[in-house]
Amino acid sequence: MSLLAVGLAALLGAGAGWALGRRREGLPLLAAGVGPHLLPDPALEWLRRIYGALGVWVTELDPREEGPHAERIVDAERLSVAQISAVDRRLERARDQEQSGAERMDSGTLVFRAGAGTAVGVLLPDGFEPHRLGLVEADLRRLLDGVRRRPHMVALAQAQSHDASLESSGSVGLRLAYQLERALDAQVVVAARETLSETERQQASTAVAPVRVVGVSGRGDRRLLDTLLPLHSDLARVARGELPKITVPGDPLGGAVADRRQRSGAVMLLPVLVGDEPFGAVAIWLPGGREPIGALLAELNEALTNAGPRLARALEADKRQADASSDRLTGLLNRRAFERILTQTDPRGPREGAMVYADLDKFKLVNDTLGHPAGDAALIHFARIIQGQIRGGDVGARIGGEEFAIWLPKTSLDVGVRIAERIRIKVGTTPWDWNGRNWPLSASFGVAACPETSLTLEDLPAQADAALYVAKRAGRNRVERAGG
């Protein structure tokens, strides 16, 4: 068992023993501090019982899904369906607008907190003692922090289960983000500079390395994880060594998540170096706008110095692993790796998800008119659009020539069509030029889904391919459903 797993087990045991002791004493179960190892249960149920609450809610935007994810524990005997739905809607609004407070509702008093795409709430009954509201609010702060840290803890546990020499850039980034958050009491984002392929370096002398978010601290927006930063965002430029250490106002991420609320104040950007070579960068939202000094500055510098070689090794290991399973031109998965993912469980059994097949329109004309290097550049352009438009848990692949496939797990046919349409629009509205000449690109898409068009995953590729053929025959630059 890994050290982290042992630690989590010990914390869970200690937390359970502490909670039982608090229960015997008749004291609030969570007010003394409960960590995310107790989420989602039993913390939600304990919170409901100790305050005699009508319900406890958690709602969050999940980057792996098209829409929010919600958990709730309610007293169904004291709440109607309409009352539960009213709280659902109010917390969704609080989540989207990052509101916190207390509000009187028909069923009781709702106390809620929200931040970074997550909201939590407790519905208190009439007659609840006002002097205990401070305890409720403190427990909600801890609950919100725990929910937001939960995916990071899972990722860290998974990373810790492997030998340290096999660290991924994601595990290095998460550890660094959390270390700096604890030391500086600040929100932290860690980004890593990816290596350009040989083809990308050859296609244009001005090609710049992409920069990806590999770590977000507990206070940050976890939707940022694994997103590519805009090429000319301040954090990306520091990660590539184009800018030195700087402090900037506003958003150094260049709007990487479109609906992300921006924190005001100064953000310090520092490179992660090995010698003089940058391999990434960190963004630190400075508390009170003050840069760290003295012991805090020394701890910050030591953390970055230690992280540099680890991040460099992890990026190299990530690249070796990707080379074995990736298409060398586009960086997406190759056909073999894509098929391996689809067959990790029995393809003949039921498994919910959508399959998208895509094809660049009139690709032969691009090759014949502009030459094969231009065709390669167009494929890279299309692949980057796919990467930018799909969600965290989705899988994109180049399966041959100008043909691409996208697997959308736990996704309905309607959502699969919407995602394909989103990619189609992005291709048509994103300029692409070759040697100074603008060339319009478009793509066609076919979508199939289990269980809507097939009861088994096994038939989805053939169905999506057939729908793509229909889209081509119907005039190109369109999305078609299988069987439609």
In this predicted structure, the answer to whether residue 201 has a pLDDT above a threshold of 60 is no
pLDDT at residue number 155:
55
In this predicted structure, the answer to whether residue 204 has a pLDDT above a threshold of 60 is no
Q: Which tens digits make up the pLDDT trace of 251-294?
A: 899 876 655 555 668 999 999 999 999 999 999 999 888 999 98
Closest CA to 220 of 178, 268, 270, 266: 178
pLDDT at residue number 190:
96
Domain 3-153 in CATH 3.30.450? The answer is yes
pLDDT category of residue 241 using cuts at 50, 70 and 90: very high
Cβ–Cβ under 8 Å, residues 355 and 448: yes
Contacts of 153 (CB under 8 A, 6+ apart): 8, 36, 37
Put residue 240 in one of left, alpha, beta given phi > 0 → left and psi -120 to 50 → alpha.
alpha
pLDDT at residue number 320:
76
Give the rounded percent of residues in the chain with a pLDDT score beyond 70: 79
Cβ–Cβ under 8 Å, residues 297 and 265: no
Q: Compute the mean pLDDT over every residue in the chain, rounded to the nearest whole number.
A: 80
Cβ–Cβ under 8 Å, residues 357 and 467: yes
- Which top CATH class is 335-481? alpha beta
* Domain locations in the chain as residue ranges: 3-153, 164-324, 335-481
Q: Which tens digits make up the pLDDT trace of 109-160?
A: 898 988 777 888 899 988 888 888 888 888 888 888 777 766 655 555 545 5
Q: Which tens digits make up the pLDDT trace of 406-425?
A: 999 989 999 999 999 999 99
Q: Give the range among 159-168, 183-192, 333-342 with minimum mean pLDDT.
A: 159-168
- What is the rounded average pLDDT of the residues 326-347? 79
pLDDT at residue number 352:
86
Handedness of CA 19, 21, 24, 25 (dihedral sign): negative
How far the first Cα of the chain sits from its last, in Å, is 51
Look up the pTM and report it: 0.50
The Cα 336–Cα 326 span in angstroms is 9
Reduce the DSSP state of residue 104 to 3 states and report it: strand
Whether 164-324 and 335-481 share one fold: the answer is: no
Residue 101, judged by CB atoms within 10 A of its CB (0-12, 13-18, 19+), counts as exposed
pLDDT at residue number 245:
95
pLDDT category of residue 446 using cuts at 50, 70 and 90: very high
The Cα 98–Cα 380 span in angstroms is 37
- Which top CATH class is 164-324? alpha beta
The Cα 154–Cα 161 span in angstroms is 11
pLDDT at residue number 19:
39
- What is the rounded average pLDDT of the residues 27-35? 37
Q: Which residue matches tokens 């959390």? A: 178
